[in-house]
Amino acid sequence: MWGGCFNQDTASSLAEINASINIDKRMFKEDIDASKIYAKALMMADVINGDDYKLIIDGLQEVKSEWENGTILICPKDEDIHSVNERRLRELIGEAADRLHTGRSRNDQVATDVRLWMLNNIPQLLNLTAGLIEVMIDSSEKNIDVLMPGYTHLKRAQPVRWSHFILSHAWYLRDDADLLKVFLKRTAVLPLGSGALAGNPFPIDRRAMAKELGFLDITMNSMNAVGNRDFIAEFLFWCSLCGTHLSRLSEDLIIFNTDEFGFVSVSQQFSTGSSLLPQKRNPDGLELCRSAAAQFIGNSTGFLATLKSLPSTYNKDLQIDKKMLFESFDLMSKTLEVLIGTVQTLIIDAKRCFAALNVGQLTTRLTYWLVKRGLPFRQAHHVAGRAFAIAEEKNTSIDLLSEEDRLNICDLLGDDLSEVWNFEAAVEELETSGGTAYSSVMEQIDLLKKWLQSEIKE
């Protein structure tokens, strides 16, 4: 493809690290589809005639069939997907194949292929993310009456519904999905027609090519077009952010699955055993999902480090982009699939969840009770905290303090406090939008369902 001015063979060591065919061969469809559209643009611009165009289109279809059937042969000198397809096309149709690359560079070719591959495949991640949200919604509906402690700093804070907890993770994913949709629009910009860096000398219709390939726009600077990999950097960042959210979900479920908590049980389908301890069922699926975040962050950071010192336009350093892209895509797909299955088959132990509640977690409710009786919040906070401290000193719980002790703290505590020490009531009073009351949780479920219907299934 490029050896005209060379009279020496490439060193084997360079040839080995230069070749990317084992990585980028998964873009065979995109390379062929883009080549078909480019051939049409050349014909419409009177650069190639109709007979050559037909030969090229038929030949490319035959090459595509060979890839799909697994009969394509890759030769030792094939550097990448582009060289395989071009070589095989020439073997099939002869000299007409040599006209296909007129005005085109592998620089704008690969930039087009990888964008097209992402547009064809990234929506799978959008659907998987939506699928995980759906099983979270299902879990929240089935377990709407399950009460459990909510935590800050891993210390019991206030009672909440299981539904409120699991939906807290669903909202992270909703934002991830929205961000992914924005990213897809930013990716749908066609570089084809930019040449190596300076543009195309033939009157091809770039906007027509963009429309036929499903792009929303074309690049407006050829130097930027061939050297721009921001869309991959953005996707790798998206994986690191979404992966972080999935890691936090995994961590919560791993903790809740421990014998000490026992709030949930991970099904045997998504657990593994021990080579020594016969009784063990380890949440290895969740642990692997948690660890995946490290690889996402590593790929994102590593690729940004690759980009940071590159001079303008295309440099071969950019060849690493597809390795990181495909690795992150594949791992994210599997991570989401594992989490969908794990949450879908998760068993919630309502009794263990409720047993973990204690009246100390209602101290905030006592604060609210005092506020409703006219005490300024800061004073009410101090009074409730003092009551809790005295209960600790007396080795009892706050609801069992004597009337004398309560009156010594604050006159208002002499009233009947029995209504304060009620977990269900404590949850139900938090009914503002976003709260953990039944009505508020149902509002969340309704909003997420509407979002899924309008933004994902439209």
Looking at residues 389-402, what average pLDDT do you find? 95
pLDDT at 302 over 70: yes
Q: What is the pLDDT of residue 31?
A: 98
**Of residues 248 and 458, which shows the higher confidence score?**
248
Looking at residues 433-450, what average pLDDT do you find? 98
Q: What is the pLDDT of residue 4?
A: 64
Q: What is the pLDDT of residue 132?
A: 98
Name the strand (E) or helix (H) holding 382: helix 377-393
Looking at residues 59-76, what average pLDDT do you find? 97
Domain limits, the chain: 17-102, 107-201+219-353, 359-456
pLDDT at 5 over 70: no
Q: What is the pLDDT of residue 456?
A: 87
Which fold does the domain 17-102 belong to in CATH? Fumarase C; Chain B, domain 1 (1.10.275)
In whole numbers, what is the pLDDT of the chain averaged over residues?
95
Angle at 250 between CA 247 and CA 255, to 5 degrees: 125
What whole-number distance in Å separates Cα of residue 417 and Cα of residue 107?
A: 75
Tokens 């061969």 — which residue?
A: 25
What whole-number distance in Å separates Cα of residue 81 and Cα of residue 63?
A: 11
- For residues 146 and 163, the answer to whether their CB atoms sit within 8 Å is yes
Pairing of strands 155-161, 189-190: unpaired
Pairing of strands 347-348, 189-190: unpaired
**Which residues have C-beta within 8 Å of that of residue 197, sequence separation ≥ 6?**
105, 107, 222, 223, 226, 227, 313, 314
Q: What is the pLDDT of residue 304?
A: 97
Q: What is the pLDDT of residue 191?
A: 98
pLDDT in tens, 122-158: 999 999 999 999 999 999 999 999 999 999 999 999 9
**Which residues have C-beta within 8 Å of that of residue 241, sequence separation ≥ 6?**
176, 179
Provide the whole-model pTM: 0.94
Angle at which helices 438-451 and 106-142 pack, to 10 degrees?
150
Catalytic center residues: 153, 274
Could you tell me if residue 433 is left (phi over 0), alpha (psi between -120 and 50 degrees) or otherwise beta? Answer: beta
**248 backbone dihedrals φ, ψ, rounded to 5°:** -65, -40
Q: Report residue 458's pLDDT band, with 50, 70 and 90 as the boundaries.
A: low
Q: What is the pLDDT of residue 13?
A: 80
Among the residues of 229-376, which ranges form H helices? 230-257, 284-307, 320-344, 350-355, 363-371
pLDDT at 396 over 90: yes
Identify how many contiguous H helices and E strands the chain contains and give both numbers: 18, 6
The reply to whether 359-456 shares the fold of 17-102 is no
Distances (CA, A) of 231 to 118, 227, 291: 10, 11, 25
Structural class in CATH, domain 359-456 = mainly alpha
pLDDT in tens, 16-53: 787 899 999 999 999 999 999 999 999 999 999 999 99
The architecture in CATH of the region 107-201+219-353 reads Up-down Bundle (1.20)
Q: For 47, how many CA atoms within 13 A lie in the half-sphere containing its CB?
A: 20
Q: What is the pLDDT of residue 1?
A: 58
Burial class of residue 156, CB neighbours in 10 A (0-12, 13-18, 19+): middle
